[in-house]
């Protein structure tokens, strides 16, 4: 298939988009064009995909990114079998685009990959005025209902089904477990992997690092929101913790191996209550114990598999004590690591599920192609005086990708 993947919000090296979904499609022999904010994020497209550079949608500054995305969809969409969208913002670029595609007789299967509870996430966005949040939540729900009528949907969590009237396939956020035996968890460092913000516990991490230093080192991997960057940079300069900044998934995961524990300190926010933090699965897959706040899906996972400890929300002292307990109790640490790794390999391993994701897109593309092929055959048997535009046989190759 020819697949156009588009995001203006996510990092181009996003683990779900690039390292799971695009990788699975490439492994199945499909051709990818990836439109993402490469320059804005300071990265270049991978060699095995054609990259198109887009502006980044951040804060209230989203208009330029949506205009650019609309242009890419209009120009490159008709040549695709599948268009895979990763941001709710991109739904705003679709109404006119879908009409143009259909008028031209080359409408690709359009899929929205639902990463989060968008309406709940609005409450956490400081750039959205409080007075605008209720009408925006209503607008989001309306957009979701319209998307359900006109697009195919993939959900990252089973709990997202409640937002929609029909049942949609779930492609969960899993991890790729390292092959072979993993390094046993040591006792000298703990790690955090993921986006850093107040609601994700960035300031709690800094407090923990001060409480644990110098006996246990805190290593932090991930990009940070503007309002916590200064505090993280200062803690790194002071030697209290080590902040690696953003690292792609294939560079970040090896740093987890051998750590004492992996941290997930999410606050109690509506958007987190029915989402399973991917970092928790990644810690389990890499064979290290988990220390997590009691977000329901993370706590259920840790308690069911006895692969770590659950601590109260916004309580760095309690999280520190949990780390110290794992540090001093070698048996507990090794058992938690072994159980988490076993569960990740058995039930939470992305390579075992990747084929289902690829098959879904292939099936949808075949279903959409069937009526079109039938109509084309009829036109071949009974030539019409009217000329009908058809889909190009491959992605346009004469237009060079924008360098990032």
Q: Which of 90-104, 149-163, 219-233 has the lowest mean pLDDT?
A: 90-104
CA 248 centroid distance within chain = 12
Average pLDDT for the chain: 88
Q: Is residue 181 part of a domain?
A: no
Q: What is the pLDDT of residue 116?
A: 86
Q: What is the pLDDT of residue 27?
A: 96
Tokens 């390579």 belong to residue = 351
**Strands (DSSP E) found in 197-339:** 217-221, 241-245, 261-264, 290-292, 308-310
| In 130-270, alpha helices (H) | 133-150, 202-212, 226-237, 249-256
**In contact, 104 and 82? CB cutoff 8 Å:** no
C-alpha closest to that of 241 among 216, 262, 263, 258: 216
Within this chain, do residues 250 and 374 fall inside the same structural domain, yes or no?
Answer: no
φ/ψ (deg, to 5) at 205: -60, -40
Q: Is residue 182 part of a domain?
A: no
**DSSP 3-state of 245:** strand
**In contact, 60 and 31? CB cutoff 8 Å:** no
Residue 174 has pLDDT above 50, yes or no: yes
Q: Is residue 389 part of a domain?
A: no
CATH at 244: 3.40.50.2000
Q: Is residue 93 part of a domain?
A: yes
Within this chain, do residues 245 and 327 fall inside the same structural domain, yes or no?
Answer: yes
Q: What is the pLDDT of residue 207?
A: 98
- Containing 2, the helix (H) or strand (E) segment is strand 2-6
Q: What is the pLDDT of residue 307?
A: 98
The residue that leads in pLDDT, 311 or 130, is: 311
Model confidence at 123, in pLDDT bands (50, 70, 90)? low
User: Domain limits at 57?
Assistant: 2-174+353-381
Dump pLDDT digits (tens) for 264-298: 999 999 889 989 999 999 999 999 999 999 999 99
Q: Is residue 218 part of a domain?
A: yes
Residue 144 has pLDDT above 90, yes or no: no
Within this chain, do residues 318 and 374 fall inside the same structural domain, yes or no?
Answer: no
Name the region of 245 (left: φ>0; alpha: ψ -120 to 50; beta: rest): left
Both tokens of residue 326?
């794992």
Both tokens of residue 241?
């913790």
Within this chain, do residues 144 and 288 fall inside the same structural domain, yes or no?
Answer: no
Q: Is residue 404 part of a domain?
A: no
Record the pTM.
0.86
Within this chain, do residues 194 and 343 fall inside the same structural domain, yes or no?
Answer: yes
Q: Which of 26-35, 224-233, 338-347, 381-390 has the lowest mean pLDDT?
A: 381-390
Region 9-20 average pLDDT: 96
Within this chain, do residues 197 and 53 fall inside the same structural domain, yes or no?
Answer: no
Model confidence at 97, in pLDDT bands (50, 70, 90)? confident
Within this chain, do residues 72 and 94 fall inside the same structural domain, yes or no?
Answer: yes
Q: What is the pLDDT of residue 382?
A: 35
The residue that leads in pLDDT, 295 or 179, is: 295
Residue 388 has pLDDT above 50, yes or no: no
Q: What is the pLDDT of residue 247?
A: 96
C-alpha closest to that of 152 among 115, 109, 119: 109
Within this chain, do residues 163 and 22 fall inside the same structural domain, yes or no?
Answer: yes
φ/ψ (deg, to 5) at 392: -60, 155
Model confidence at 119, in pLDDT bands (50, 70, 90)? low
Within this chain, do residues 8 and 146 fall inside the same structural domain, yes or no?
Answer: yes
**In contact, 367 and 82? CB cutoff 8 Å:** no
Within this chain, do residues 55 and 198 fall inside the same structural domain, yes or no?
Answer: no
Within this chain, do residues 376 and 258 fall inside the same structural domain, yes or no?
Answer: no
Dump pLDDT digits (tens) for 212-266: 999 999 999 999 999 999 999 999 999 999 999 999 999 999 999 999 999 999 9
Q: Is residue 402 part of a domain?
A: no
Tally of domains in the chain: 2
Q: What is the pLDDT of residue 389?
A: 33
Q: What is the pLDDT of residue 242?
A: 98
Q: Which of 137-146, 326-335, 341-350, 365-374 has the lowest mean pLDDT?
A: 365-374
Q: Is residue 51 part of a domain?
A: yes
Q: What is the pLDDT of residue 384?
A: 34
The residue that leads in pLDDT, 102 or 232, is: 232
Within this chain, do residues 240 and 288 fall inside the same structural domain, yes or no?
Answer: yes
φ/ψ (deg, to 5) at 152: -90, 145
Dump pLDDT digits (tens) for 322-349: 999 999 999 999 999 999 999 999 999 9
């Amino acid at each position: 298939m020819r697949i156009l993947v588009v995001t203006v919000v996510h990092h181009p090296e996003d683990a779900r988009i690039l390292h799971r979904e695009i990788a699975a499609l490439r492994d199945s022999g499909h051709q990818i064009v990836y439109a993402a904010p490469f320059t804005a994020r300071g990265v270049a497209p991978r060699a095995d995909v054609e990259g198109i550079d887009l502006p980044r949608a951040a804060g209230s500054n989203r208009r330029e990114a949506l205009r650019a995305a609309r242009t890419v969809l209009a120009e490159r969409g008709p040549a695709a079998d599948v268009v895979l969208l990763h941001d709710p913002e991109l739904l705003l670029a679709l109404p006119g685009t879908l009409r143009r595609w259909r008028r031209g007789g080359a409408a690709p299967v359009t899929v929205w990959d639902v990463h989060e509870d968008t309406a709940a996430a609005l409450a956490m966005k400081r750039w959205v005025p409080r007075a605008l949040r209720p009408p925006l939540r209503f607008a989001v729900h309306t957009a979701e209902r319209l998307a359900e009528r006109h697009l195919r949907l993939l959900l990252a969590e089973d709990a997202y089904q409640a937002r929609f009237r029909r049942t949609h396939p779930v492609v969960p956020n899993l991890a790729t477990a390292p092959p072979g035996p993993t390094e046993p968890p040591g006792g000298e460092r703990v790690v955090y992997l993921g986006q850093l913000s107040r609601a994700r516990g960035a300031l709690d991490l800094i407090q923990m690092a001060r409480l644990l230093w110098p006996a246990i080192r805190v290593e932090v991997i991930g990009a940070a929101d503007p309002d916590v960057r200064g505090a993280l940079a200062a803690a790194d300069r002071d030697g209290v913790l080590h902040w690696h900044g953003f690292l792609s998934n294939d560079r970040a995961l090896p740093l987890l191996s051998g750590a004492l524990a992996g941290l997930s300190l999410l606050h109690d926010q509506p958007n987190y209550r029915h989402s399973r933090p991917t970092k928790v699965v990644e810690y389990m897959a890499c064979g290290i114990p988990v220390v997590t706040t009691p977000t329901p899906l993370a706590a259920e996972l840790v308690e069911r598999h006895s692969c770590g400890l659950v601590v109260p929300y916004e309580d760095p002292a309690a999280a520190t004590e949990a780390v110290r307990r794992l540090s001093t109790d070698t048996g507990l640490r090794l058992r938690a690591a072994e159980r988490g790794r076993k569960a990740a390999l058995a039930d939470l391993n992305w390579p075992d599920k990747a084929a289902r994701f690829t098959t879904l897109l292939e099936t949808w593309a075949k279903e959409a192609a069937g009526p079109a092929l039938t109509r084309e055959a009829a036109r071949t048997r009974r030539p019409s005086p009217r000329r009908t535009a058809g889909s190009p046989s491959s992605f346009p190759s004469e237009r060079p990708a924008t360098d990032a």
